[in-house]
Amino acid sequence: MTFECCGVGTGSLHWTSVRACEEKIMKNPLESLWGTVITGLVLTAILYYVAKLTMGA
Amino acid sequence: MDMLPGIYRWIHIMAGIMWVGLLYYFNFVQVAAVKSAQADGTAAGITKHVAPRALFFFRWAALATWLAGAALLGSNFVAAFTFQPGFQKIGIGAWLGTIMLLNVWGLIWPNQKKILGLVPATDEQKNKARRIAFLTSRANTVLSVPMLFFMVAQTHIPM
């Protein structure tokens, strides 16, 4: 079974191929400054709610 | 003796500004500047003369920040790090700061020593070191956002 990876090529459909395809589509957010800042804000929001839940318990 | 907590806080804030300020300098300024400078052959000015000095103050400011923070916590040190009632927010900030400090001394600095040629390394080892130092520095930038939030939140943001 083959698949097309966003026009960058084809490969057999197994986990490593899917992962390689995903890596071509999804970039590490830490590669860009905006990605880094947004990741920091998201992490802050997550920790805020975790702390709030913990403090309410 | 009454002045000590205030002095610890003062040192903690000054050293913290230097640490996080240099962290933001590396991430927001130097990475892009080195890339541009490499294109016109002037990167050595940054890597030879700026980066080693910035890294010196960066790593020692990190340690000073943590030590002053620990001194400021004093007898509440364990309560903060174990998230006891009333210390959850500063506990999260303290843990994030501690992870950041370990990243500086355990990952960024050892890899920067290879990149800057302070310890012998092959080109392949230097490339790997460059990648690890870059990602760790970016991870610390991510962690700095909630770390600063929770440091401020302990006394200024009700939850």
Single-letter code of the amino acid located at B75: S
Interface of A with B in 1-57 (CB under 8 A): 28, 30, 33, 36-37, 39-41, 43-44, 47-48, 51-52, 54-55
Tens of pLDDT, residues B47-74:
999 999 999 999 999 999 999 999 999 9
* Nearest-by-CA chain A residue for B159: A52
Question: For the stretch A34-46, what's the b/e string if a residue is b when 16 or more beta carbons lie within 10 angstroms of its beta carbon?
Answer: eebbebbeebbee
pTM for the full model?
Answer: 0.87
- The residues pairing with A2 across neighbouring beta strands, listed in sequence order, are A12
Instruction: Give per-residue pLDDT as tens, B138-151.
Output: 999 999 999 999 99
pLDDT at B135 over 60: yes
Q: How far apart are alpha carbons B159 and B146 in whole angstroms? A: 15
Task: Answer yes or no: are the C-beta atoms of B98 and B123 closer than 8 Å.
Answer: no
Distance CA B124, CA B111 (A): 12
